[in-house]
Structure 1
């Protein structure tokens, strides 16, 4: 049975992704900052018939928490097949490039960018033991420099001084990571599940968490000849072509 770790997975898209992967027969580690809340979520899932899901305490901003989670996965599985860096945050809208504080920007970067790197580096040892390792970095169309430079883009006026650059850096890290792992079985991609109705955006998005999770899984459970180091966005196109960075 393949194993997957999803960070920030106790609600919204992360939770739905965990549910769908569980239904596909994977063992899912549901990463959560609050273990008690995570366990409560898992208990509800079990009542609904979901199997092979375990809550694991994981705060991507805290090195000790990440290493402890890695230790648990190593002891229980011996390896990790899939890492989905889903944990993310935003300080809200609007965010001016002229007035947003460095403190706010650093807080967002600590979760969205540094957190993804911290978890990836910590779990690399376990991922290398998998025959088909996959790393999916969950990003946003708001992290595309090309789109943000195009006045005709429908979200052109949504400029967030911390969230936008944090996701642009996640995209950059995806390229770097894929390059370093190009001669291995790894597939590393940035995946934008689209503008989805979640707590993150006060349920303003038109997409559903079910469709968003399915899109993430489509570009995660990929064959050996699948692309790596690419950016796929549900909002930009149907996922058959690489999206603009």
Structure 2
């Protein structure tokens, strides 16, 4: 049975990704800041018949927590096939480029950028042992420079959150480039404007639809893409990289 780790997974889109990977015969580690919330999420999944799931405490802004999660998962499996870096925060409102505080920037970047880099680096050794390793970084169309620069775009302006997702996209492209001659497939996926706590349960996509968009790129075969930005709601074709 293949294995996967999904961060920020005790509710919302992350929880749905866990469910969909479990449906596809993965043993899924559900990463969560609060282990009690993780246990509650696991109870829901087991009530649906999924025994192939386990909660792991993982605060992506805490290096000690990342290291402990790596040790915990490494004691249970020698191989990790899929990493979904889903954990993310918005940073609240408003987010003016002139008025947002440095603390706002630091807090959001700690989760949305540094957390992704930290978790990826911690688990890369287990991923390298997989014959078909996959990394999916959950991004947002709000991080698109093209959309934000378009005067006709309805993308809201949130300087902190948007710039963090732009930085995440650049990190993902560099990661994909460094792993381009290996079996890795590394992509960034926008789940869409999804009806979750994150959006106040407003949006154009259901949680199931959003989860499917992410799980799709965790499940791709060796003929699948790498180094691509996927946002089905805004771009009909994934943005490619020239390698």
Q: Residues 162 and 34 from structure 1, CA distance in 2 versus in 1: closer, same or farther, beyond 3 angstroms?
A: same
* Cross-structure match for 1:202: 200
Q: Cα deviation per residue 1:73-126 (whole Å; 9 max; x = unaligned)?
A: 111111110000000001223311110100011100000000000000000010
Report 1:77-116 matches (<5 A): 77-116=77-116
* Cross-structure match for 1:128: 128
* Cross-structure match for 2:228: 230
- Equivalent residues of 1:94, 1:159 under 8 A apart: no
* Cross-structure match for 1:171: 169
Size of the aligned set, in residue pairs, is: 241
Q: 1:45, 1:223 → 2: CA distance?
A: 26
SS in 1 for 2:218: coil
Divergent runs of 4+, >3 A: none
Q: CA deviation at 1:128?
A: 0.3
Residue 152 of structure 1 pairs with residue 152 of structure 2? yes
TM-score, normalisation: structure 1: 0.95
- Equivalent residues of 2:140, 2:165 under 8 A apart: yes
Report 1:177-216 matches (<5 A): 177-216=175-214
* Cross-structure match for 1:242: 238
Q: CA deviation at 1:244?
A: 8.5
TM-score, normalisation: structure 2: 0.96
Report 1:33-44 matches (<5 A): 33-44=33-44
- In structure 2, stretches of 5+ residues that fail to align are none
Q: Cα deviation per residue 1:148-202 (whole Å; 9 max; x = unaligned)?
A: 11112232xx111210000001100011000100110000000001000110111
* Cross-structure match for 1:23: 23
- Equivalent residues of 1:236, 1:243 under 8 A apart: no
Report 1:6-21 matches (<5 A): 6-21=6-21
